[in-house]
Structure 1
Amino acid sequence: MTDAAPKIRIRGLRKAFGSKIVLDGIDLDVMQGTSMVIIGGSGSGKSVLLRCILGLIAPDAGSIEIDGVDVVALSSRRREAVIETIGMLFQNAALFDSLSVWENVAFGLLATGRRHGKRLSRAEARAHAGRMLEQVGLDPSVGALYPSELSGGMQKRVGLARAVAGQPDILFFDEPTTGLDPIMGAVIDGLIVDCVRRLGSTAIAITHDMASAQRIGDQAAMLYQGKLIWQGAASSLLDSGNPVVDQFTHGRREGPISMELRR
């Protein structure tokens, strides 16, 4: 038993767009140093949940606590300070085409001109970007290239290097293996696990890839019809005992989700 407070604690989170309810009373705890994977079909609200935590979307109701502080209730300036402690790997890497690879990796550092509160020169930022590239299996010389010169797998690695460059307390991963072949997907997952463990970060990933979910997740949860209908160990995703989760994770045509779609 432990009395440790969750790193991220969500209670009663609701969000609707017009008459469409996307999040309908979400309760979720993510403990310090663990990786939570959120699964669910397209349009189930996974990305909306991440955007609410990031403050990009304002929820209609509920609380989102990070280290015990409800970020929903914070002023914009104070919320931005909390969000700066979060690293994000976007679905398609989302690199800036006009910037070199090293400038993409060091983008946050260049924007603030600081690292750990200390002023950072452009040369120091480039050297730090080189070290981050090495941590994701790329030679620092790649920093001189531009995103258009990289393969999809290399772009993902650069996106991961950028996500961890500020040594964040929290990491978010949005469909980290989308567009990758199974081998490169496994490579990216391995790098994610290594980076999360090295930093001791708390992580949330959203994915459709069940192999990826089991590789990178400690815990898992499924969003369906606006609610978290199941939570448990990521290793139990294929044997959850929940008929909706089982149909989704095994990709079966018949089941409760299919019946819902036919209505």
Structure 2
Amino acid sequence: MDQSMTSAPPKIRIRDLHKSFGDKKVLDGISLDVPKGTSFVIIGGSGSGKSVLLRCILGLMTPDSGSIEIDGEDVLAASARRRDQLRSEIGMLFQNGALFDSLPVWENVTFGLLALNKLTRTTARAKAGAILEQVGLAPSVGDLFPSELSGGMQKRVGLARAIAAQPNILFFDEPTTGLDPIMGAVIDGLIVDCVKKLGSTAIAITHDMASAQRIGDEAAMLYKGRLVWQGAAASLMHSGNDYVDQFTHGRREGPITMELRR
């Protein structure tokens, strides 16, 4: 590895992050670095803290304590205006697409750019067609409404919207949920291509181990709000960590226990 890369600060640095809801600890001292240009995958069961961690980084939720830095800048100490600026540099693919049913596809894709008055509607329509082509959809799909699309097409439109502003950080929330294995692999391939083309840093949370290995460079596992393992995504199925091995192989027996919801 280039020496200059090893000395560069991480794109995202998280230190001793805590978040509780009442007496329930959801994040319990999370610390991790996400190097610039890396695709970082976070795995863990339901309630492990993955989504809350993502929301804290996005600025949609405020942690109780700890720090989050982007390019060395303390996000939590930034002004509301600066946080909005930082958030505008992040693209997000939501788990269920989160498309606006009342808007045509082209307007969904360029929604953020239109909201910020960065494009005229005429220019936005043409730009949407070009972005749709990047995710393997014909520009004519832009005239359809989300209800007219299959699940796989909706995911592609969601990805097109995520990359529309050419963000330097991309977040993916369960990108293959609800898709068959072949379409899941297609979406993963598009994610990898888009991240590489933009040169972005990506964070994905997923339960899909095949997806995690396809899109991830590095991976980490959360359990009960704690970071229990971090390593190469390629080693997820043979990590040597008891928590990771039980989770990735779906074993009933191991250190991970199911708790009754109260």
Q: TM-score, normalised by structure 1?
A: 0.96
Cα distance in 1 between the residues matched to 2:52 and 2:255: 24
SS across alignment from 1:73: coil
Within 5 Å, which residues of 2 pair with 1:221-260? 221-258=220-257
Deviation, structure 1 residue 96: 0.1
In structure 2, the gaps of 5 or more residues are none
- Match in the other structure for 2:34: 30
Cα distance in 1 between the residues matched to 2:57 and 2:153: 28
Counterpart check, 1:71 vs 2:75 = yes
- Match in the other structure for 1:100: 104
Cα distance in 1 between the residues matched to 2:97 and 2:114: 19
SS across alignment from 2:56: helix
- Match in the other structure for 2:191: 192
Letter in 2 for 1:197: K
Kindly indicate whether the alpha-carbon contact (under 8 Å) linking 2:14 and 2:31 is maintained by their aligned counterparts in 1.
Answer: yes
Deviation, structure 1 residue 122: 1.0
Counterpart check, 1:62 vs 2:61 = no
Deviation, structure 1 residue 99: 0.3
- Match in the other structure for 1:117: none
In structure 1, the gaps of 5 or more residues are 115-119
Deviation, structure 1 residue 150: 0.2
Within 5 Å, which residues of 2 pair with 1:97-176? 97-114=101-118, 120-176=119-175
Structure 1 stretches of at least 4 aligned residues deviating more than 3 Å after TM superposition:
none
Kindly indicate whether the alpha-carbon contact (under 8 Å) linking 2:47 and 2:224 is maintained by their aligned counterparts in 1.
Answer: no
Deviation, structure 1 residue 74: 1.0
- Match in the other structure for 1:40: 44
Counterpart check, 1:82 vs 2:86 = yes
Letter in 2 for 1:132: I
Deviation, structure 1 residue 32: 0.6
Cα distance in 1 between the residues matched to 2:124 and 2:66: 39
SS across alignment from 1:56: coil
Deviation, structure 1 residue 233: 0.1
SS across alignment from 1:12: strand
Cα distance in 1 between the residues matched to 2:64 and 2:115: 31
Deviation, structure 1 residue 163: 0.1
Cα distance in 2 between the residues matched to 1:48 and 1:261: 19
Q: What are the Cα deviations for residues 69-104 of structure 1, in whole angstroms up to 9, with x where unaligned?
A: 010111111101001000000000000000000000
Letter in 2 for 1:126: R
SS across alignment from 1:72: coil
Deviation, structure 1 residue 261: 4.2
SS across alignment from 1:161: helix
SS across alignment from 1:49: helix
Cα distance in 2 between the residues matched to 1:72 and 1:129: 33
Deviation, structure 1 residue 227: 0.6
SS across alignment from 2:7: coil
- Match in the other structure for 1:181: 180
- Match in the other structure for 2:55: 51
